[in-house]
Amino acid sequence: ADFLANTDLLKNKKVIITAGGTRENIDPVRFIGNRSSGKMGIAIANAAAHAGADVTLIVGQVSVELPQSPQIKIVHVTTTEDLFNALQKRFAAADILIMAAAVADYRPVEFIDHKIKKSANNYNFSLSLTETTDVLKEIASKKRADQLVVGFAAETDDLLQNANNKLTSKNADMIVANNVGGTQGAFGSDQNQVTVLQKNQDPIKWPRQSKMQIANQLIELISLKLKQGD
């Protein structure tokens, strides 16, 4: 089914979901961005709202319409640092954080406050980049025992091993691992194939299905995990 049968699964739960891509500014007219559509995170926000949760959707750049629901509060961010600040303000009050955003890994070392001009003798141009904050890792390091944090992992190789490393290194309770290689990629598509990893549990491989179906299954799994209290 496309919708959950039980609409009370996350009743009275505060859920923060991040979606879309962050952008790092180079100069007033240019940025470094990525191809995230925001579809997965938005589908999760809708599924959580349908399950009765009080949802805050923190969105970067998306290529689809944002949900309009009294249960979904929308917060806009641009850069990775904006996203980090938005979460630092709100995480303590949340029961669940789901990091579906495609966060930039690097940003320009400095922002140039005027449009960078091409010059006659520069055949090559290079930009110095520095690592952004690992938002998930920083936020999840402050996680209380009663909070649940779900991350995503986009991989083209060694999916399970890389995703498992992220589960541990980022202190997440769950990682939704997604193979972004090949022709049936996830970016922009309405469908995806994911494997869910949890500590001390066998990976759960779901079939290729719509992002809405993945979102509903994920919300169901999360609500089960909350009830078990582990």
DSSP 8-class letter at 91: G
Is 34 in the active site? yes
Sole binder of Ca ion in the list 105, 138, 155, 220 (CB under 5 A): 105
Beta strands per DSSP E along the chain = 14-19, 24-27, 30-32, 54-59, 72-76, 96-99, 106-108, 129-131, 148-155, 174-179, 191-192, 194-198, 204-205, 209-210
Q: Does 152 bind ligand CTP (CB under 6 A)?
A: yes
If the CB atoms of residues 110 and 131 are measured against Ca ion, the closer one turns out to be 131
- C-alpha to C-alpha distance for 153 and 5, rounded to whole angstroms: 28
Q: Does 42 bind ligand CTP (CB under 6 A)?
A: no
Residue 95 marked as a ligand binder: no
Q: Does 134 bind Ca ion (CB under 5 A)?
A: no
Q: Which two tokens stand for residue 20?
A: 């879309």
57 binds, among ligand CTP, Ca ion, none (CB under 5 to 8 A by kind): none
Shortest CB 135 distance to Ca ion, Å: 11
Nearest CA to 17 among 34, 42, 53?
A: 42
Q: Does 151 bind ligand CTP (CB under 6 A)?
A: yes
Which residues here bind Ca ion, judged by CB under 5 A? 105
List, as residue ranges, the binding site. 105, 115, 152, 166, 170
Catalytic residues: 34
Which residues here bind ligand CTP, judged by CB under 6 A? 80, 99, 101, 103, 105, 132-136, 151-154, 166
